[in-house]
Amino acid sequence: MKDAVRQRALELGFDDCRFTTAQPPASGAHLQDWLANRRHGTMAYLERNAAKRTNPQLVLPGAKSVISLAASYAEPRSGLRVGSSGTQATEPRFTKEASRMAHHGLVARYARFTDYHDVLGERLQTLAAFVDQLGGGGTRSLWYVDTGPVLERDLAQRAGTGFIGKHTNVVSRKLGNWIFLAEILTTLELQPDEPEKNRCGSCTRCMTACPTRAIIAPFQLDARLCISYLTIELKGPIPVALRPAIGHRIFGCDDCLAVCPWNRFAREGQLMKPHAKPHLATPDLLELLTLDEAGFRRRFAGTPMLRAKRRGMVRNACVALGNVADAGALPCLQRITGESDELLAEHAQWALERIRSRGASKPECR
């Protein structure tokens, strides 16, 4: 049965499919410590469902197995470049010179596609139905893609999909770390695969690359410092002290992923390839400031970027402009300072002051 499930998963477009038991994950105590230290920031849902995350039986009573799935979102080999450390990457570390061009921001690679929740979810639903049919009457299966109360990285490592790197993301020896994870909990008993062991060795490139030092120790992330959290999950003001390190990133950050040496094995995934939206990579920051709610929804319909909402994206664009823009951004930022939304007005004012401190003069707003 296991071979049949794996074959069906590959037919549906997944790049890897492996199996583990539905026993509690080993990192339950680490999760509790992480929450107790408030390193989850404002993500209260992680605390609310912590009990379920540490016990799959509370998610699906009678669960016997977990099917761990991976889908690569790596770009074609021709799009990779070799960094100074000898590793392959697509985005360089932030520098003023590299990111001042035309007031453009930078979007994390995973968001440059149709929303992966939708793409993977459709296939997961089909695969879960196949598992139920294979198991016969009474078999029940639940599928999740980054949405359910499960410690998916722990389960993925136990299934042998990959190992949790020092940046706290899963690294696959055959796919690198440009991967989406998904899982199916099922009451069908399937023989588990061998777990993967950690293969980071003495490498600390991900820790060194993090602009805000959010990886506070090997395998320990403080989400409150992470640019992905600051630009997506955080709904309030971005701490002033962290704004300069964000650079021109407006939705997520890939720095710790991009420097991982295991990416030499990364390959383009068959499932996500047709859903690529390369035009989302570097949006015009001044254009983002002009979008109203309806315009924002049209511009990013069907993509992960809707998660930030118009308010969050304008906030992020203001920070990015404050870091990299020239005088051309001043009039548009000035207009945002007049908005009734105090959050946006404050971030725009911060950006204005940063640009003016660089000696910029005020041109016409386009």
Read off the pLDDT of residues 22-42 as tens digits, 9 standing for 90 and up.
999 999 999 999 999 999 999
Residues 189-216: what's their mean pLDDT?
A: 97
Give me the half-sphere count of Cα atoms (radius 13 Å) on the Cβ side of residue 315: 23
Here the tokens at position 269 are 């995934």
Instruction: Say what the pLDDT of residue 358 is.
Output: 86
Contact between residue 198 and residue 286 where contact means Cβ atoms under 8 Å apart: no
Residue 77 — very low, low, confident or very high, per pLDDT cuts 50/70/90? Answer: low
% of the chain with per-residue pLDDT over 70: 91
User: What's the pLDDT tens digit per position in 225-265?
Assistant: 999 999 999 999 999 999 999 999 999 999 999 999 999 99
Asked if the model's pLDDT at residue 319 lies above 70, the reply is yes
User: Do the domain assignments include residue 171?
Assistant: yes
Residue 339 — very low, low, confident or very high, per pLDDT cuts 50/70/90? Answer: confident
d(CA 254, CA 211): 10
Which candidate in 146, 154, 292, 341 is catalytic?
A: 146
Non-local (6+) Cβ contacts of 327 within 8 A are 355, 360, 361, 362, 363
Burial class (CB in 10 A: 0-12, 13-18, 19+), 327: middle
User: Do the domain assignments include residue 248?
Assistant: no
Domain, as residue range, for 149: 2-96+113-191+200-226+255-277
Contact between residue 64 and residue 57 where contact means Cβ atoms under 8 Å apart: no
- 57-66, 81-90, 180-189: which has the minimum mean pLDDT? 81-90
Residue 156 — very low, low, confident or very high, per pLDDT cuts 50/70/90? Answer: very high
User: Do the domain assignments include residue 338?
Assistant: no
Asked if the model's pLDDT at residue 98 lies above 90, the reply is no
Say whether 132 is catalytic. Answer: no
Q: List the one residue out of 309, 324, 317 whose CA is nearest residue 358.
A: 324
Instruction: Say what the pLDDT of residue 99 is.
Output: 42
User: Do the domain assignments include residue 239?
Assistant: no
User: Do the domain assignments include residue 336?
Assistant: no
Asked if the model's pLDDT at residue 282 lies above 80, the reply is yes
Residues 338-359: what's their mean pLDDT?
A: 94
Residues 308-313: what's their mean pLDDT?
A: 97
Q: How many CB atoms lie within 10 A of CB 248?
A: 25
Asked if the model's pLDDT at residue 13 lies above 80, the reply is yes
Instruction: Say what the pLDDT of residue 25 is.
Output: 94
Q: How far is CA 134 from the centre of its chain?
A: 33
Average pLDDT along the chain: 91
User: Do the domain assignments include residue 136?
Assistant: yes
Asked if the model's pLDDT at residue 82 lies above 90, the reply is no
**Stated pTM of the model:** 0.90
The tally of domains found in the chain comes to: 1
Instruction: Say what the pLDDT of residue 360 is.
Output: 56
Asked if the model's pLDDT at residue 101 lies above 70, the reply is no
User: Do the domain assignments include residue 91?
Assistant: yes
Instruction: Say what the pLDDT of residue 284 is.
Output: 96
DSSP string, 289-345: HH--HHHHHHHTTTSGGGGGHHHHHHHHHHHHHHHH--GGGHHHHHHHHTSS-HHHH
User: What's the pLDDT tens digit per position in 260-269?
Assistant: 999 999 999 9
Asked if the model's pLDDT at residue 366 lies above 60, the reply is no
User: Do the domain assignments include residue 243?
Assistant: no
Residues 181-188: what's their mean pLDDT?
A: 98
Instruction: Say what the pLDDT of residue 262 is.
Output: 96
- 95-109, 285-299, 329-343: which has the minimum mean pLDDT? 95-109
Residues 113-123: what's their mean pLDDT?
A: 97
Here the tokens at position 77 are 């080999």
Residues 271-296: what's their mean pLDDT?
A: 95
